[in-house]
């Protein structure tokens, strides 16, 4: 399997605070890797270093053999990113949002336009091409947010908590689309707080806490590997939930 993403010893410091501490993993084409961790564990910061929106303090990120620190623009040509906020341009229609994103990648306008039509059909928004984004429901906006970064046919799709706030139907539609993209050969890296989402999407899981990897392995066997009943229990165990809940209890009774 071709390695699309390789992360080695990735570290991020904000002043003296270490938000990400020596994280390493790799991701092959046609695979999905999920990063799981408590609030503030360093998941978003890890993603931001990978897609070159925050400087790397130490370590290396290679995307399709391109060093992200040395050639960020070139590396970004092959990435599609879905961030936590949807950041749609509300002054543009649905189709115009797609086209505006596509022309960032130096693709001829005609090609961008036809790809935009195809992608909007793929996410079930073909009938809304001329709608204002403000007229879409939350789930429809999220589907547009998923479609938009696919305009440059990325080999690596990065999603930061992609389904937060979506209804159950929309989440399932979203998962189905992502699994189709994976079958078509995309490598997918995501963060999520939902164990059912990890089960529906991920081949491999990396659990992080306080900026460090505390457990990693195949989604189907990680729990067994850690002696836990299921992935949720494995996660709670790996992030020392019992000690934390005791601390929370003590604070409440002070």
- Using CB under 6 A as the criterion, which residues of the chain lie in contact with ligand ATP when the complex forms? 14, 19, 37, 39-45
Please provide residue 34's backbone torsions phi and psi, each rounded to the nearest 5 degrees: -110, 135
Distances (CA, A) of 39 to 11, 172, 244: 18, 24, 13
208 and 46 Cβ atoms separated by less than 8 Å: yes
- In the complex, the smallest distance separating the C-beta of residue 229 from ligand ATP, rounded to whole angstroms, is 24
- In the complex, the smallest distance separating the C-beta of residue 68 from ligand ATP, rounded to whole angstroms, is 17
- In the complex, the smallest distance separating the C-beta of residue 193 from ligand ATP, rounded to whole angstroms, is 7
Q: With CA atoms as reference, report the closest residue to 184 among 204, 158, 216, 155.
A: 155
**Cβ nearer to ligand ATP, comparing 54 with 77:** 54
- In the complex, the smallest distance separating the C-beta of residue 42 from ligand ATP, rounded to whole angstroms, is 4
**Cβ nearer to ligand ATP, comparing 44 with 155:** 44
**Cβ nearer to ligand ATP, comparing 94 with 231:** 231
Q: Give the DSSP H or E segment for 241.
A: helix 241-252
- In the complex, the smallest distance separating the C-beta of residue 137 from ligand ATP, rounded to whole angstroms, is 24
- In the complex, the smallest distance separating the C-beta of residue 126 from ligand ATP, rounded to whole angstroms, is 33
Token readout for 1 is 């399997």
**Which residues in 96-252 belong to E strands, given as ranges?**
156-160, 187-191, 204-209, 212-218
Radius of gyration of the chain (CA): 19
**Cβ nearer to ligand ATP, comparing 45 with 155:** 45
**Cβ nearer to ligand ATP, comparing 190 with 223:** 190
What is the Cα–Cα distance from 120 to 128, expressed in whole angstroms? 8
What is the Cα–Cα distance from 157 to 15, expressed in whole angstroms? 30
45 and 21 Cβ atoms separated by less than 8 Å: no
Token readout for 192 is 């999520």
Please provide residue 219's backbone torsions phi and psi, each rounded to the nearest 5 degrees: -55, -35
Q: With CA atoms as reference, report the closest residue to 47 among 34, 38, 65.
A: 34
**Cβ nearer to ligand ATP, comparing 23 with 95:** 23
**Cβ nearer to ligand ATP, comparing 49 with 146:** 49
- In the complex, the smallest distance separating the C-beta of residue 92 from ligand ATP, rounded to whole angstroms, is 28
């Amino acid at each position: 399997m071709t390695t699309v993403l390789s992360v080695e010893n990735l570290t991020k410091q904000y002043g003296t605070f270490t938000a990400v501490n020596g994280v390493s993993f790799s991701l092959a084409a046609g695979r999905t890797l999920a990063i799981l961790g408590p609030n503030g564990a360093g998941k978003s910061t890890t993603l931001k270093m990978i897609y070159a929106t925050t400087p790397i303090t130490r370590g290396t990120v290679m995307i399709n053999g391109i060093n992200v620190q040395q050639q960020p623009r070139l590396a970004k040509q092959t990435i599609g990113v879905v961030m936590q906020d949807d950041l749609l341009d509300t002054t543009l229609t649905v189709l115009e949002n797609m086209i505006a994103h596509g022309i960032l990648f130096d693709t001829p306008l005609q090609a961008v336009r036809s790809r935009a039509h195809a992608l909007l059909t793929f996410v079930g928004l073909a009938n809304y091409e001329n709608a204002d984004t403000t007229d879409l429901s939350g789930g429809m906006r999220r589907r547009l947010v998923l479609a938009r970064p696919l305009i440059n046919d990325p080999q690596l799709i990065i999603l930061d908590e992609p389904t937060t706030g979506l209804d159950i139907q929309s989440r399932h539609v979203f998962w189905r689309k992502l699994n189709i993209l994976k079958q078509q050969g995309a490598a997918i890296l995501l963060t999520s707080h939902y164990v059912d989402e990890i089960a529906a999407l991920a081949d491999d899981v990396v659990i992080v806490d306080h900026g460090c990897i505390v457990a990693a392995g195949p989604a189907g066997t990680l729990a067994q590997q850690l002696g836990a009943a299921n992935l949720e229990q494995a996660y709670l165990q790996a992030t020392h939930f019992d000690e934390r809940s005791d601390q929370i209890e003590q604070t409440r009774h002070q």
